[in-house]
Amino acid sequence: AAKGPAPHLRRSGGAATVKTMLLEWCRARTHGYPHVDVQNFSGSWGSGLAFCALLHSFFPDAFDFAALEPTARRDNFALAFATAEERAGCAPLLEVEDMVRLPVPDAKCVYTYVQELYRCLVAKGLVKTKKR
């Protein structure tokens, strides 16, 4: 059986395939959200809106996505991380200050956080996985 942060994404092909599948999952969950276009695990997450959209897709009553502004990066990251911790039980692996310090977030940090969020959502039964 696969082990690690996102065992349900594990398929033959290794880490690159898991990363691609996780990116596709993020893209599908955030499709249609304004100012969100997930193409990678770095620049696509720079405004914080991709995190907000991902969480809003699971917890639409948590906040008003339409009221968010792409330029309010600090507020967007703070909202997303607080919602992930409160609603999904996701460990606070990223700091708001670290995210706003750089114009483009670190891809490894974003990927690790999204893996943890995915794992937490699976554990809560909010993401259905295929049994093998």
CATH number where 33 lies: 1.10.418.10
CB environment 68-93: b (16+ within 10 A), e (fewer): beeeebeebbbbbbebbeebbebeee
Q: How many independent structural domains does the chain possess?
A: 1
**pLDDT digit string, tens, across residues 9-37:** 554 556 678 899 999 999 999 999 999 99
Residue 8 lies in a domain: no
**pLDDT digit string, tens, across residues 62-120:** 999 999 999 999 999 999 999 999 999 999 999 999 999 988 999 999 999 999 999 99
- pTM of the entire predicted model: 0.86
- Give the model's pLDDT for residue 8: 56
- Joined together, the tokens standing for residue 70 give 């792409």
Residue 85 lies in a domain: yes
Residue 10 lies in a domain: no
Q: Pick the closest to residue 54 from 100, 121, 123 (CA basis).
A: 121
Query: Confidence band (pLDDT; 50, 70, 90) for 2?
Result: very low
- Give the model's pLDDT for residue 6: 56
Residue 104 lies in a domain: yes
Residue 79 lies in a domain: yes
Residue 2 lies in a domain: no
Residue 102 lies in a domain: yes
Which range of residues forms the domain containing residue 55? 15-124
Residue 132 lies in a domain: no
Q: How many helices (H) and strands (E) would you count in the chain?
A: 5, 0
- Give the model's pLDDT for residue 129: 77
- Joined together, the tokens standing for residue 10 give 């594990």
